[in-house]
Amino acid sequence: MPMNVQANLAKIRKKLIRRAAQNLARGAGVRENFEQQLERFYDLLEQALTTGDPAWLDAVVYDWVNAHTQTDIVEGQKNATALLNILFTLTNEVARETLNKGEALDLITAVQPIFISSLDKAARLEMENRVAFFANEVASVQQKLERLDRSKSNFISIAAHELKTPLTLIEGYTSMLRDSSTNGDRGGNSDPLLRGVNTGIQRLRQIVDDMIDVSLIDNNMLSLNSQPLWLSHILVLLQKNLDEFLRERKLTLEIRRFPGSQEWLYADPERLYQAIQNVLTNAIKYTPDGGTITVSGRSLPGFVEVTITDTGIGISPEDQALIFEKFGKLGRADLHSTSKIKFKGGGPGLGLPITRGIIEAHGGTIWVESEGCDEKKYPGSTFHILLPVRTESSDPRLAKLFGDLTNPVEGTHVEEKTRTDHPAA
């Protein structure tokens, strides 16, 4: 390195620092402090020039990168790379103004690789800082969301238990009232007022039970009372129990016999009934009058798959994952209309999260397929429920029973296909 390069840098240094401070620092105090930093920078630049080692500038680059506030990081402003770029441009500018052409060129050629190496380090450090900062932000947002979800879940659990006590009281008194009016002139069950109260109580009981189920699922406390069962039996029972609603809405429910539906499955019959019922009542709710709901499935190695297809309004791709989250009810809350089976009559948005919780507690999965939501073309939706076929219970007594049941006695088969037609008039 020719000696005159260092000498020329020393010659332009004062002017350079003054100009940089004027350009970049506002206010006397800030400027003084910045000038001191620049003095240190050019001291180290001189050392780097003398030794040919750009690492002399590492310490100052490191300090500049780490001097940034969070706002600087978020906005990607006032960073060390920008500062180094400006200092290189100013060095270039002042060298051309102060030195002759040859000296200026020598100086710029000598400092350029040192600036490039420092820029490279600054950019790398800044990137690492930004990545660490945003990773931290993501973790803290995640924590906030988890806290929010916990408090939502706690609220549901407390509200459900608070509602349960007065509800049980109302149920008790209503039943006494029914009994006393049965003894009187008017028959208890035929009294329209009492029938109305009863329907309200049942709906409320359903909502409170759903809230309790959701908080059990949220806290991984859903316990299963598993036993050997036939899927086809559950489906036939559901068809019978939903018949009234199907009739009312002029819908056809076709339950096909499929491989796997006739084999013994080890699961909780009440919970499985509840899970499939939720999907079926949704299919009823979101299919216009006169539509068809088809239950079918297939047997897969180690699994049985149940599919529930409707000819309803369908679900848009972006909502397909959302509906399995609690309160994942779609549509506007102000247009919410509560109904068990009315076309598009909403509920509290707990049905599918409970269904998913039940299916997952069995080691299975649930998902939906639909071309999208279209209230004119009715593309429909297909819900898939995949259940593992467990052939053994952990309880040896049940395992024995299950072993006996896997060879069912003759005559316990169900019909090939059951169908309830309630076509539109």
Min CB(390)–ligand ADP separation in Å: 27
284 binds ligand ADP (CB under 6 A): no
Question: Do 87 and 122 meet the contact criterion of CB atoms below 8 Å apart?
Answer: no
Helix (H), strand (E), coil (C) string for 80-111: HHHHHHHHHHHHHHHHHHHCCHHHHHHHHHHH
381 binds ligand ADP (CB under 6 A): yes
Question: Do 76 and 130 meet the contact criterion of CB atoms below 8 Å apart?
Answer: yes
Min CB(157)–ligand ADP separation in Å: 18
Instruction: Report how far residue 255's alpha carbon sits from residue 84's, in angstroms, rounded to the nearest whole number.
Output: 73
Quick one: which of 54, 228, 260, 347 contacts ligand ADP (CB under 6 A)? 347
Min CB(359)–ligand ADP separation in Å: 13
Question: Do 382 and 307 meet the contact criterion of CB atoms below 8 Å apart?
Answer: yes
349 binds ligand ADP (CB under 6 A): yes
Q: Contact region for ligand ADP (CB under 6 A) — 67-75, 220-228, 294-302, 326-334?
A: 326-334
293 binds ligand ADP (CB under 6 A): no
Cα dihedral across residues 100, 102, 105, 110: positive or negative: negative
Pattern 83-122, ligand ADP, x by CB under 6 A:
----------------------------------------
Instruction: Report how far residue 359's alpha carbon sits from residue 363's, in angstroms, rounded to the nearest whole number.
Output: 7
Q: Please, which residue, 182 or 382, has the CB nearer to ligand ADP?
A: 382
Quick one: which of 269, 351, 357, 364 contacts ligand ADP (CB under 6 A)? 351
Instruction: Please tell me whether residue 385 adopts helix, strand or coil conformation.
Output: strand
218 binds ligand ADP (CB under 6 A): no
Quick one: which of 346, 372, 379, 408 contacts ligand ADP (CB under 6 A)? 346
311 binds ligand ADP (CB under 6 A): no
294 binds ligand ADP (CB under 6 A): no
Point out which residues bind ligand ADP (CB under 6 A): 278, 282-283, 286, 310, 312-313, 315, 323, 328-330, 346-352, 381
